[in-house]
Amino acid sequence: MVLAKVWKLKSHFVGFPKSSDFLLEEEELPAIKDGELLLEAEFLSVDPYMRPYSVMNMKEGDVMIGSQVAKVVESKVAEFHVGSFVVSHAGWRSHSISTGDSLQALPSTWPTELPRSLALGVLGMPGLTAYFGLLEICGPARGETLLVNAAAGAVGMLVGQIGKIKGCRVVGFAGSDPKVELLKELGFDSALNYRSVSSLDAALAQAAPGGYDCFFDNVGGDFLCAALPHMKHRGRVSVCGGISMYNDVTSQKLTFPQLTLIFKELKVEGFMVTRWQHRRDEGIAALAAWVKEGKLQYRETVTEGFSAMPDAFMGLLRGDNVGKAVVRA
């Protein structure tokens, strides 16, 4: 008999999540049947989407949504061997039973020098988000200028580096001076702390006096409104996320820059990374090759212990993380 630990949404978040909004419970799992396997979480992902998702799709008492790298500890499914690893969408659970449907097996050739947590980061959903969201929507060309915000996070850090690989001049905004220093180490041409600049408008102008061809937006809200007037004619904006709004209790009142969009003939396109699910292998292969060649660096913020899942999640929303935020169970 296995006792699974499970984090549930105790109370809907109001504004910024609080520890008391979460509930840790134990669940007794039955013995697995033919066609089932037992998984034990090794690394669990915390991601910004969990905050708006809870509002859109969850009720109090539901298990928190999320993906994890898990070890197969028992198997009655021929394709999944005991001791192998998979990416599972089991939510915030230490142990789970699966039929194998929608599991993503980690290759048995996974390089020993790469932590398996990368399957939740640069070699997983955030990596694919950066890869397809930038290349397919912005289509950055050599010599162009690329702007990215939340630039020291899981997606943003990769977007900026992929921009460099493609020959762009890259400007990144992040929320602390150490993050800004890191972005410069990663090859960003200009990096700024959006919390300490006296004017976002002036900082955007100073970092790229000729304007931006491409903008990968993870933040939305005031940043998006401030950035659009700095786009070049026929600029492309990849709308990836809106983290500045996820904890809002009342909707922000923003002036939609209609005339800017028209006169500059901007392309502004939102996306969900799942759009390119059919090209997943291609994306992972390209990202893995760049990592192997040392062209694409990754960073992770690893929180220890399944019991710290809410802390890791709240830390992510506060900006404590550098690179991908994961929890080691």
Ligand X SMILES: NC(=O)C1=CN([C@@H]2O[C@H](COP(=O)(O)OP(=O)(O)OC[C@H]3O[C@@H](n4cnc5c(N)ncnc54)[C@H](OP(=O)(O)O)[C@@H]3O)[C@@H](O)[C@H]2O)C=CC1
**Site mask, ligand LYYGC724, residues 117-136, x = CB under 6 A?**
--------x-----------
Distance between CA atoms of 171 and 182, rounded to whole angstroms?
Answer: 13
**8 A C-beta contact, residue 6 and residue 18:** no
| Placement of tokens 């001076």 in the chain | 177
Stretch that binds ligand X, among 55-63, 82-90, 228-236, 271-279 (CB under 6 A): 271-279
Residues 6+ apart with CB under 8 A from 78: none
Give 135 or 207: the residue with its C-beta nearer to ligand LYYGC724. Answer: 135
272 binds ligand LYYGC724 (CB under 6 A): yes
**8 A C-beta contact, residue 328 and residue 305:** yes
Using a 10 angstrom Cβ sphere, with 0-12 exposed, 13-18 middle and 19 or more buried, the burial of residue 6 is buried
**Site mask, ligand X, residues 34-73, x = CB under 6 A?**
-------------xxx------------------------
Looking at residues 233 to 252 of the shown chain, list those that interact with ligand LYYGC724 (rule: CB under 6 A). Answer: 241
CB atoms within 10 A of CB 52: 17
CB atoms within 10 A of CB 181: 14
Q: Which does 291 bind (CB under 5 to 8 A by kind): ligand X, ligand LYYGC724, none?
A: none
Residue nearest to ligand LYYGC724 as judged by C-beta position: 49
User: Buried b / exposed e across 116-142, counting CB within 10 Å, b at 16+?
Assistant: bbbbbbbbbbbbbbbbbbbbebbebee
Residue from 9, 148, 155, 284 touching ligand X (CB under 6 A): that is 155
Residues in the chain, how many?
329
Q: Which does 53 bind (CB under 5 to 8 A by kind): ligand LYYGC724, ligand X, none?
A: ligand LYYGC724
Looking at residues 52 to 91 of the shown chain, list those that interact with ligand LYYGC724 (rule: CB under 6 A). Answer: 52-53, 56-57
Give 72 or 171: the residue with its C-beta nearer to ligand X. Answer: 171
**8 A C-beta contact, residue 107 and residue 324:** no
49 binds ligand LYYGC724 (CB under 6 A): yes
Residue from 88, 145, 244, 303 touching ligand X (CB under 6 A): that is 244
DSSP 104-138: EEPPTT--TTS-GGGGGTTTSHHHHHHHHIIIIII
CB of 68 to ligand LYYGC724, least distance (A): 13
Residue from 160, 175, 257, 283 touching ligand X (CB under 6 A): that is 175
Give 139 or 315: the residue with its C-beta nearer to ligand X. Answer: 315
Distance between CA atoms of 37 and 132, rounded to whole angstroms?
Answer: 32
| Placement of tokens 């020098």 in the chain | 113
**8 A C-beta contact, residue 99 and residue 35:** yes
Distance between CA atoms of 212 and 116, rounded to whole angstroms?
Answer: 36
CB of 290 to ligand X, least distance (A): 17
Residue 158 gets which letter from DSSP?
H
Q: Which does 57 bind (CB under 5 to 8 A by kind): ligand X, ligand LYYGC724, none?
A: ligand LYYGC724
Using a 10 angstrom Cβ sphere, with 0-12 exposed, 13-18 middle and 19 or more buried, the burial of residue 152 is buried
Residue from 6, 174, 273, 329 touching ligand LYYGC724 (CB under 6 A): that is 273
Q: Give residues in contact with ligand LYYGC724 (CB under 6 A).
A: 48-49, 52-53, 56-57, 125, 241, 272-274
Q: Give residues in contact with ligand X (CB under 6 A).
A: 47-49, 126, 129, 150, 152-156, 174-176, 179, 218-219, 240-244, 271-273, 316-317, 319, 321, 325
